[in-house]
């Protein structure tokens, strides 16, 4: 499927080469720098939000290790059209922190909590834009229904598995002291990304509205859930929303978004590599197989949380 997606992008670009080239020539260096910088900001904020989930679960990750491993995770996400990036970060944290690392279940559920809160914030954005622009009334209802379904599922999991450490990441939502900074970080992420789409679409000659930029970002996120890779997802979304106005220019915008995302992730990963080389954490590494750790989830590596700290059972 990834190869088919790349082949589809290649066909679109090849058959509209003249329009793609003309659109790319319109993009200024200032726009490219802004796109890369905004994406780097979004990646950093998302990593910080992930760390807040783990802290709420009683399994905090030192800031340096959090951003070091996140840099490699996001770079993997831009290269591999699957969820391999999540496993890259899990494996690196297990190696860096050994027994002090959060469990695999906690790290996976932290990603799920982020997706849930992003869905709720997206509902708010869609409702606001819909009310402002007078768009179809049913559109926010569809988005709200999806977010409500996710929230109901999370609530069910929290009640059914209350004794399991992996659901403690949901504790970030249970107190305003935790929820407010967590939601603020993700709100900034979701404000930055549509802004990137608006800049890229403007740069290639379109005149997108705020809703169109937001819609293109949402469509990209939906395509991003498929194993097709970030490049085809970006091109597919921009072509889906703006292809009727100019398929070549829309494809060019998608290519620029994907390329600047790669540049931002590479810069983040380069910083991560430098941090690993210059600043070992002084702790012995204990290579752990993430799959084996996941299988041992019921025991949570023999740890439980008591009074906000972790102790070893037995």
- Quick one: pLDDT at residue 89? 94
Measured between alpha carbons, how far is 188 from 179 in angstroms, rounded to an integer?
14
Asked, for residue 145, whether it belongs to a domain, the answer is: yes
Band of residue 126 on the pLDDT scale cut at 50, 70, 90: confident
Mean pLDDT, residues 265-292 taken together: 67
Band of residue 289 on the pLDDT scale cut at 50, 70, 90: very low
Of 22, 23, 43, 41, nearest in space to 33 by CA: 41
Asked, for residue 12, whether it belongs to a domain, the answer is: no
Residue 243 has a CB neighbour count (10 Å cut-off) of 17
Residue span of the structural domain in which 76 resides: 20-280
Asked, for residue 218, whether it belongs to a domain, the answer is: yes
Burial 254-279, CB ≥16 within 10 A → b, else e: bbbbbbbbbbbbbbbbeebeebbeee
- Quick one: pLDDT at residue 223? 85
Band of residue 300 on the pLDDT scale cut at 50, 70, 90: very low
Residue scoring higher pLDDT (70 or 282): 70
> Which of 40-49, 93-102, 236-245 is predicted most confidently?
40-49
State the total domains in the chain.
1
Asked, for residue 293, whether it belongs to a domain, the answer is: no
Asked, for residue 15, whether it belongs to a domain, the answer is: no
Residue scoring higher pLDDT (313 or 205): 205
Measured between alpha carbons, how far is 238 from 247 in angstroms, rounded to an integer?
9
Please state the pTM of the whole predicted model. 0.81
The per-residue pLDDT for range 72-106, each reduced to its tens digit, is 999 998 887 667 889 999 999 999 998 889 999 99
Is the pLDDT at 165 greater than 80? The verdict is: no
Mean pLDDT, residues 174-190 taken together: 89
Asked, for residue 99, whether it belongs to a domain, the answer is: yes
């Amino acid at each position: 499927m990834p190869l088919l997606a790349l082949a589809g992008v290649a066909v679109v670009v090849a058959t509209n080469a003249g329009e793609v080239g003309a659109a790319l020539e319109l993009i200024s260096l200032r726009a490219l720098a802004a796109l890369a910088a905004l994406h780097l900001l979004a990646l950093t904020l998302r990593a910080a939000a992930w760390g807040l989930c783990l802290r709420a679960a009683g399994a905090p990750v030192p800031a340096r290790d959090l951003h070091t491993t996140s840099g490699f995770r996001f770079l993997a996400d831009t290269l591999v059209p699957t969820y391999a990036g999540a496993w890259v970060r899990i494996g690196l944290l297990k190696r860096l922190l050994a027994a002090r690392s959060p469990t695999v279940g906690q790290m996976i559920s932290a990603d799920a909590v982020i997706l849930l809160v992003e869905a709720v914030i997206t509902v708010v954005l869609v409702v606001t834009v819909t009310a402002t622009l007078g768009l179809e009334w049913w559109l926010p209802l569809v988005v709200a229904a999806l977010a409500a379904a996710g929230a109901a599922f999370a609530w069910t999991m929290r009640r059914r598995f209350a004794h399991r450490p992996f659901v403690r990441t949901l504790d970030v939502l249970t107190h305003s002291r935790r929820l407010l900074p967590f939601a603020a970080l993700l709100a900034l992420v979701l404000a930055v990304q549509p802004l990137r789409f608006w800049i890229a679409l403007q740069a290639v000659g379109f005149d997108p509205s705020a809703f169109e930029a937001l819609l293109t970002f949402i469509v990209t996120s939906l395509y991003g859930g498929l194993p097709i890779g970030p490049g085809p997802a970006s091109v597919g979304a921009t072509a889906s929303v703006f292809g009727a106005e100019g398929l070549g220019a829309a494809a060019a915008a998608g290519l620029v978004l994907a390329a600047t995302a790669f540049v931002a992730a590479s810069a983040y990963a380069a910083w991560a590599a430098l941090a690993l080389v210059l600043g070992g954490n002084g702790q012995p590494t204990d290579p752990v197989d993430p799959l084996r750790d996941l299988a041992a989830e019921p025991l949570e590596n023999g740890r439980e949380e008591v009074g906000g700290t972790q102790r070893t059972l037995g």
